[in-house]
């Protein structure tokens, strides 16, 4: 079983719809992240959380919200999807400590029509 699991793996939705992407982990890490990836732009940070009561905006948080329901779960919502939110979305987790290496889920490919 994967340590960092994202659901769904693929999703097609329409402009204006609310959609939630889910991430769960069995690594026991406190830190969780949401990124989006667009061709040629690399990974860009949307939101991150260092524990259940901690939520922080990343580089491109507009149009997104998150919920940290438990240490192991971190959900990303698009309140009203728009076509330029079509992208590959990755969840990542990391332990604390000096190295703080991030481990990524398999990704969710989202298309907004």
Partner 1 sequence: GQNIDQPTEMTATEGAIVQINCTYQTSGFNGLFWYQQHAGEAPTFLSYNVLDGLEEKGRFSSFLSRSKGYSYLLLKELQMKDSASYLCAVRRANAGNMLTFGGGTRLMVKP
Using the rule CB under 8 A, is 47 a contact of partner 1? no
Using the rule CB under 8 A, is 84 a contact of partner 1? no
Going from the C-alpha of 87 to that of each of 1, 14, 110, 113, the distances in angstroms are: 25, 14, 6, 12
Q: How many CA atoms lie within 13 A of 68 on its CB side?
A: 20
Using the rule CB under 8 A, is 102 a contact of partner 1? yes
Q: Which of 36, 78, 90, 112 binds partner 1 (CB under 8 A)?
A: 90
Place of tokens 């330029």: 84
Which residue number, 43 or 52, has a Cβ lying nearer to partner 1? 43
Reduced to 3 states (helix: H, G, I; strand: E, B; else coil), residue 83 is helix
Using the rule CB under 8 A, is 56 a contact of partner 1? yes
Using the rule CB under 8 A, is 101 a contact of partner 1? yes
């Amino acid at each position: 079983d994967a340590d960092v699991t994202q659901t769904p793996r693929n999703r097609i939705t329409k402009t204006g719809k609310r959609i939630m992407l889910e991430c769960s982990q069995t690594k026991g890490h406190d830190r969780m992240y949401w990124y989006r990836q667009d061709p040629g732009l690399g990974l860009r940070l949307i939101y991150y959380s260092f524990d259940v009561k901690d939520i922080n905006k990343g580089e491109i948080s507009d149009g997104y919200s998150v919920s940290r329901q438990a240490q192991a779960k971190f959900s990303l919502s698009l309140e009203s999807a728009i076509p330029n939110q079509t992208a590959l979305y990755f969840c990542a987790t990391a332990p604390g400590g000096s190295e703080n290496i991030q481990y990524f889920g398999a990704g969710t490919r989202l298309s907004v029509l």
